[in-house]
Amino acid sequence: MSAVDTELETLIRARYPIIYVVSWEEKRVEDALRAICQSRNKKMLQWTVTQGIVQNSSNRDDATRDPLAALDHVMESRDQAVYVFKDLHPFLNDTALVRRLRDLTYALKTSYKTIVMVSPVLRLPPELEKEITVVDYALPTLKDLDELLEGIIQSVKSNPQITTEMAEDEREQVLQAALGLTGNEAENVFAKSLVEKHKFDVHVILSEKEQIIRKSAILEYYPATDAFADVGGLDLLKDWMGKRTVAFSEKARDFGLPAPKGILMLGVQGGGKSLSARAIASLWNLPLLRLDVGKIFGGIVGQSEENIRKAIRIAESTAPNVVWIDEMEKGFSGTQSSGISDGGTTARVFSTFLTWLADKTAPCFVVATANDVSALPPELLRKGRFDEIFFIDLPGESERVEIFAIHIKKRKRDPANFDLNRLAEASHGYSGAEIEQSVVAALFDAFDLGRDLTTDDILKVVRESIPLSQTMKEKIDILREWSESRARPASSVNNAKILRTMEIMDDDSFEFGDILVDNSDGPLAHDLSE
């Protein structure tokens, strides 16, 4: 018996008159209550507005379909019984019904009768808040899902076309993917996986969570299509993430490891922060949920605060997952002046989010990105909000070679046919996004000329373009200076030396106005484009 089932039994034995169970899983609640009634020698009767009060769901009692008549029936009954009222919440705005429930509380306390209201939403009028006990019926645990999975395996194991054998870690991945689903949803998606793949496939199971997230209209589901193989450089970030690949497993819990909270990635625009966020979800085989802060804010008083709480509830109900917040400084801008500009709404929403970051127990790994560190509220950067703050700089020469190779290969060309070293030398100061666009622009040029892409086509585009490191030189310098003592580098490659002089470069250097970048020591490593 689960903890919540034990709590229900205790409340019934203690003669709590009215219990409100919040759950989408009527069948699981019914099964638990039926087992309790059998052990306590009580009847279990059910009420719905379509059938009235019945003991067998195939029957119908029109006389008790009206909620008031049903409550009168409960009052007059002499049975020792648990009355399960399904979806009574829409009728709780009826003054007479509310009064009848209050009358019942006194009568039920001295009887062996209990009313259990089952509903997917909690809706209580103020008059009943002190009369009714609320129980949140938790979603299936790993143990519950494991029993469900085993039952399905036993039912199909004789089918030679279906593979049900799984290694221990594979089985745990399947169960982790199903966490956050109701029992019915998990059963359906396990069956769907067997029909589509003839085995239990993690990606099919995660698709069921996509449906839950889509219905929220606040969170967006991103399929995990990008891998760390698409990310150039960032060896320290990759190593850090790799060590936490099994952080959500039971083996890690038994070892005493806490679930990782998240990371904040700061860096130059176009540096690949968004790509890294998507790659993390792919590496861990977890659903990626993008929180669009703009969708949180609503025009109705209290709507914004409710939206952030709703987003948090959905994120936790579909955990384990990766929650991605892109360009966080823009989403929460105006926090300091919120009391004047919007009556404190932004500050309250941000406070709720910060509290969740620090105190959350659900395995939601938060990946936040930001370009302008000066616009971030200082409360966000303190220890405890994130596990680590990484800084992503412009790519060094070896990273640019890797990035060019990746993007050329993505465009169905063999990187071996291109002079990648020449391309890397000519693209000092280019971000991953700018390297990608140079390949794309060169493809357009080659297509217009009716021939295939060459190294010279890409070189021509690179030499004609002005990178962001030249346009936004001052801001990037400030960001680099800030990161030296406040953030962890995402790569082991040494920092680029920015020499503010005017002189003619040799072949190992490249000039942008009054900036001299000496690459002999290698600039900060970096990932692909966002």
Residue 364, token pair as written in the block: 């939601």
CATH 1.10.8.60, applies to 393-530: yes
Structure confidence at residue 299 (pLDDT)? 62
For 61, other C-beta atoms within 10 Å of its C-beta total 16
Find the helix or strand (DSSP H, E) in which 486 lies. Answer: helix 473-486
User: Is-same-fold flag (3-136; 228-392)?
Assistant: yes
Q: For domain 228-392, give the CATH number.
A: 3.40.50.300
Kindly provide the b/e burial profile for residues 346-357, where b requires at least 16 CB atoms within 10 angstroms of the residue's own CB.
Answer: bbbbbbbbbebb
Question: Tens-of-pLDDT digits for all 530 residues of the chain?
Answer: 678 889 999 999 999 999 999 988 898 899 999 999 999 999 999 999 999 999 887 788 899 999 999 999 999 998 899 999 999 999 999 999 999 999 999 889 888 999 999 998 888 899 998 999 999 888 888 888 998 999 999 988 888 888 888 888 888 888 888 887 888 888 999 999 999 988 998 888 887 777 777 776 778 888 767 788 888 878 889 899 988 888 877 788 888 888 889 999 998 888 888 888 888 988 888 888 998 887 787 666 567 888 888 888 888 877 888 999 988 888 776 666 555 555 678 888 888 888 898 888 888 999 999 888 878 887 888 777 899 999 998 888 888 999 999 999 999 999 999 999 999 999 998 988 899 999 999 999 999 999 999 999 999 999 998 888 888 888 888 888 888 888 888 888 744 433 332 233 334 443 333 333 444 343 333 333 33
**What is the CATH topology of the domain spanning 3-136?**
Rossmann fold (3.40.50)
Structure confidence at residue 337 (pLDDT)? 59
Strand order in the sheet with 509-512: 497-499, 515-518, 509-512
- Distance (Å, whole) CA 119 – CA 86: 6
Closest CA to 371 of 475, 230, 474, 249: 475
Domain extents in the chain: 3-136, 142-216, 228-392, 393-530
